[in-house]
Amino acid sequence: MNDHLVIATGGNDTIRIYAALSSATVETARKIHDPWPTAIAAFGRVLTGTLITGAMSDNPYRLTVKFSGDGPLGTVLAVSNRRGEVKGYLENPRVDLDLNSSGKLDVGAAIGSGIITVIKDYGLKNPYQGVAPLQNGEVAADFSYYFAKSEQTPTAVSLGVLVNPDGTVKVSGGLIIQLMPGASEEQIEFLEGKLSQLPPVTTILGSGGSPSELINEVAGETGVKILEKIDIRYHCDCSRERFLGPLLSLGHQELKGIIKEQGKIEVRCHFCNQLYHYDQSELI
């Protein structure tokens, strides 16, 4: 099954549901950044949460989500768009901690305490920026609190990444449910009950379930309507030309000094690890 995101409504459009299968996307990120198990579990959750959040607007925009914690991972950042593309960066990928008290990868300790920053860039003069304190560093609860605090939208979030013994990604996915204006107390209580009984998203997706089946599992009784299906992937849009502009802004003298010392200039993209070489003829 290819990675994809499904957007649906339920309860006469008072419930908005997003479900994603992101296993191949997160595995691509693992191959690029080579993180250790706890790091890829955290990174995969951030990538998946950012992918889903990036699909919430009908207008094209660029979404950046940054987790700034005091744990050993340092900064974890992801960038997505409405087309289902995501890229990301983690400051310290070589992090693997002991399992937590639940026997799971300790993402919360890896990220630590800090803030989540969400930037929505619609191409206008001033991008929207929202900030909220991290709740536990486990990513899902941090996204949920951000939506409640910064966007005043009651939101349930479930994100998960299962890692194989060899460090590769076995399954990754996520589920986000938002209550729209008009949701009744009965609907809220019903969803709370369903969510409390719902197995981890990785259990459902790992056993062959699809995002659509995940949505029906939690909200099928509310009258689900599938609105859209979006293919998702890890994709970096860097290019030689994109890096050339900032290099030229360094100025003739500084560039000349670097080239005299090193013979050329190399720039590596943090999102995909692509290395670009620039020689004197391109810069001076």
- CATH fold for domain 4-234: Hsp33 domain (3.55.30)
State both tokens at 144: 């949920």
| DSSP code, position 126 | S
Distance, C-alpha 11 to centroid of its chain: 27
List Cβ neighbours of 255 (8 Å cut-off, separation of 6 or more): 247, 248, 265, 283, 284
List average pLDDT for each run of 10 residues in the chain, which is 284 residues long. Answer: 96 93 99 98 99 90 96 98 97 96 95 97 89 97 95 93 97 95 81 86 96 92 92 96 85 80 85 89 71
List Cβ neighbours of 281 (8 Å cut-off, separation of 6 or more): none
Give the pLDDT score at 126.
87
The phi-psi region of residue 251 (left if phi > 0; otherwise alpha if psi is between -120 and 50; otherwise beta) is left
Give the pLDDT score at 256.
80
Burial of 250-266, coded b for 16+ CB within 10 Å and e otherwise, reads: eeeeebeebbeeeeebe
| DSSP code, position 199 | P
State the Cα–Cα distance between residues 63 and 83, nearest whole angstrom: 11
Model's pTM, two decimal places? Answer: 0.94
Give the pLDDT score at 11.
87
Give the pLDDT score at 125.
82
The residues spanned by each domain of the chain are 4-234, 240-283
- CATH fold for domain 240-283: CBS domain Like (3.90.1280)
Give the pLDDT score at 49.
98
Give the pLDDT score at 124.
83
Find tokens 């107390």 and name the residue.
185
State the Cα–Cα distance between residues 25 and 45, nearest whole angstrom: 11
**β-pair type (275-278, 128-133):** unpaired
C-alpha separations of 15 from 29, 183, 187, 205, 254 in Å: 31, 7, 9, 22, 56
